[in-house]
Structures are given as C-alpha cells and as structure tokens.
Amino acid sequence: MEQVQDIKVAVDAVVFGYKVKDGISILLIKRKIDPFKGSWALPGGLVKNEETLEKAIERELKEETGVSINYLEQLYSFSEVERDPRNRVISVAYYGLIKPDAFQLKASTDAVDAQWFNIKDLPPLAFDHQHIVELAIKRLRGKITYEPIGFELLDKKFPFSDLEKLYAVVLDRPIDRRNFKKKVLKYGFIKETDEKQNLSGAGRPGFLYQFNEEKYFDLKRKGINFEV
C-alpha cells in the first residue's frame, strides 16, 4: 500500500534567563500571524529544506528575538497530530541558558514583540507550548543536580551565596546551605579566590569564588560524577 505522508518539521526554543535579583525567566515572543495571532509563544518555526535542526533554531532565535546562544540542548520531540491547526507539524524543542542582560531583544519576522517572563508568572501560551515549557523546567531542575550547568549564569567571580541562590531558585526549594557548600567544594572545581565582594551596606564581605571548567571536565573524564 502506498504511504501518504505530509509532515512538516519545526523547532522551538525554551530559553531560560537568570538574574540574581529576579530569578529564572523564559524568553517569549508575541505572534504576528494566525493561528494564535497576538498570543505569546516560544521562539521557533519551520525548518528549511537546506537546514539542520541546529541551524534552524539558531536562525529562528536570531530573527524573532535578536538572541544568539552558543549552546542549546535538544529537549524532546512533540508529535501530537493536532498540535498545529494548519498542518501536521512535529516540533523538536531545545532549551538553553543565558544572561538576559547580555542581549538587547529585537522582534522581527513572525514576532511583533519579545519579552522575558518569570517562570512563575507566564501568560497563556499558543499551541502546546505550555507543555513544552513544563517539560523544559523539569529537565533543567533535574540536570542542574548532576551537571554544573548554572555557572554560565553567574559572574566569572561570584560570592558563594549567589551560587546557593541560583540552585534554590532553579530547584524551587530551600537548600541546606552548609551541606550544599561542603558537597560542592569537595569536587575541587570551584576555588576560593583572594578577592572579596564589594558590599555597600553593613556586613563583612566574603571571598569570591571561581568555576574551573577545565578541572571539571578532567574529573568527568576520570569518571567522577557531580551530584548535589
């Protein structure tokens, strides 16, 4: 029997941003066209014939938000038959982490606006993007417990309290500060520097710390697993 197939492939990006003061946010675009015109959605779109998935998601992010990300990790493929009212569309979703202040948002092509939204105060989302976001948050919370992916969200040198707050915000729960610090420092890829943080108010300034990426990957090659 002849097989009839008319399936399009799209990509969507869940871009997490982090600020010590504001917590975790997600980058969304406001759609310019139907369906869901005027609704908020994840950046993304159809893959061109000559593109890889990775090239397509890079292009869509740049076109719709003005953001470029060095590393995006594939999240999941979403293939519900009626997820897009126009066509049968399979979406391959990605997620990544950036510092929001590193970019000036600029919406174009299919987007009329691009904004950051706190993950606890998201607007209604188009298509099945709420489901995609929920899965991405779950994946992020799982991965940060066994791989130090959050260091790129901090300054090159940071007070240890910033690292504690990052983990508490991403995991959405309090952490045992003394036990957390003991666990993290035992691996040896976070080192105390001889510099102290600048405090404008009262209190004794603590030392700043620095992530040694080379040391981490050396330990990983030796089979030492990071776990918080």
Domain boundaries, the chain: 7-143, 149-221
pLDDT value, residue 199: 66
- Give the global pTM: 0.90
Q: Are β-strands 40-41 and 23-31 bridged in parallel, bridged antiparallel, or unpaired?
A: antiparallel
How many Cβ atoms are within 10 Å of 50's Cβ, its own excluded?
7
User: What are the DSSP E strand ranges found in 47-155?
Assistant: 73-78, 88-98, 111-118
Return the sign of the alpha-carbon dihedral for residues 183, 184, 185, 189. Answer: positive
- Find out whether 141 and 171 touch, Cβ atoms under 8 Å: yes
Q: Which is nearest to 40 in space by CA: 131, 115, 106, 152?
A: 115
pLDDT value, residue 200: 61
Please list the ranges in the chain whose pLDDT falls under 70.
Answer: 1, 199-203
Domain 149-221 part of CATH 1.10.10.10: yes
| Cα 183 from Cα 223, distance rounded (Å) | 17
pLDDT value, residue 137: 96
- The CATH fold assigned to 7-143 is Nucleoside Triphosphate Pyrophosphohydrolase (3.90.79)
pLDDT value, residue 204: 74
